[in-house]
Amino acid sequence: MPQAGDWGVGIDATPFFQYFGNLLSQNGNPYVPGFAFTAQYPGSLYVKYKPSSKTTLRMIINLGVSYDVDRTPNNSNPAEYNEYKTTALALGAIFGFEKNLSIVGRVNAFYGFQGGVQKIPFTSGTVTGKIEFTNKVNATQNYIEEGGNQLQFVAGGFGGLEFFFLPRVALAGEVGIDLNAYYQDKRESTTGSAAAEIVDYGGFGVNLKPVASGNLSIFIYF
């Protein structure tokens, strides 16, 4: 078990479970563990420090980056092309405090509280983040749609279990409830030289919601 002064790092264990599950299939094992970390599906990295064997300080970094460029032939001049580009960034940092309890054998329970801030890109249907369209022949058809990002402030509590299946290596799962206050800025669209048009006026709000992804995380302590 980890002791006072130890550090821990963690990541979502779902890709590893998918890989091991495919080992039992009859169609080979084409799946390779991978982590998306896209703006649509941000990944989480965990860092923990234990000031004592019964307490843990932790930080969760949520990160997702998307950059996509699609080029198609221009109808007026096939030698040129039109370019459709989308970019988006999801970023957050959440800090927490855990109280650790030994349950039985290699199983520990933990509970605590956390708080932080995160930026969530605008999402509507299949659109996420900033859009830029460039017509290489007719610039009047160019347009940019951007804005609408959310700034969220999160505070809440959580509880979960940790199972040490190897020395200093554990699987952990948790549930919690968060108070989420957010502000969304306006989203604007500009075509050619025309004035910007407001697509979404944004807004703000507060909600209280349970947090239970159903995913397990794997931690290594050293």
Options 2.40.160, 1.10.150, 3.30.43, 3.40.50; CATH of 7-221: 2.40.160
Q: pLDDT at residue 69 above 80?
A: yes
Structure confidence at residue 18 as a pLDDT band (50, 70, 90): low
Quick: pLDDT tens for 147-178: 999 999 999 999 999 999 999 999 999 999 99
> What does the alpha-carbon distance between residue 123 and residue 101 come to, in Å, rounded to a whole number?
40
Mean pLDDT, the chain, rounded, equals: 89
pLDDT tier for residue 145 given thresholds of 50, 70 and 90: very high
Longest dimension (CA), the chain: 72
Mean pLDDT for 189-212 is: 89
pTM of the entire structure?
0.83
Note the pLDDT of residue 66: 94
CB atoms within 10 A of CB 95: 13
First-to-last C-alpha distance (Å) of the chain: 10
